[in-house]
Amino acid sequence: MSHSPISPTPAGTQRGPAEYFTGTAWVTMLAGPNPTDCTVGDVTFEPGCRNNWHSHPAGQLLVVTAGQGYYQAKGQPAQLLRAGDAVSIAPGVVHWHGATANSLFTHLAINPNVKQGVADWLQPVTDEEYRAAHG
């Protein structure tokens, strides 16, 4: 499901916090605190949007559902992602993800063992780092 500022958004959808995103992202929590200790968020990045560098104490799974975007672990080349792709991110790996310059990008963000913490947010991805992903 994609969201844009000119179309209605599902109940519970919130704009991603500006301190963690460059550009506009929309977040809908599909599963919150529950007996599995896992959260699932449906996140849509508008073209050019990306989140800050960050890590997850218990790791994260990303499942791409629409559009095109990037995932990059610190010190590694960026990976282009499309609908149907999945990324398994090990605990503590510093990374970012976001849309390409010309496409929306939607993924499910699955966070296990959230009692350990959900995310440790770091500095924004610079424009230079973002442009290098397009290479």
Mean pLDDT by 10 residues, the chain (135 residues): 42 88 94 80 96 97 98 97 98 98 96 88 97 89
Alpha-carbon span 11 to 18, nearest angstrom? 20
Q: What is the pLDDT of residue 3?
A: 38
Q: What is the pLDDT of residue 67?
A: 98
Alpha-carbon span 73 to 79, nearest angstrom? 9
Angle at 130 between CA 126 and CA 132, to 5 degrees: 115
Domains of the chain with bracketed CATH: 14-133 (2.60.120.10)
pTM score, two decimals?
0.87
Q: What is the pLDDT of residue 7?
A: 38
Q: What is the pLDDT of residue 116?
A: 87
Alpha-carbon span 80 to 112, nearest angstrom? 24
Question: Which spans in 19-126 are helix H?
Answer: none
Q: What is the pLDDT of residue 11?
A: 62
Phi, psi (5° rounding) for residue 65?
-115, -20
Would you call 74 helix, strand, or coil by DSSP?
A: coil
Spatial contact of 73 and 93, defined as CB atoms under 8 Å apart: yes
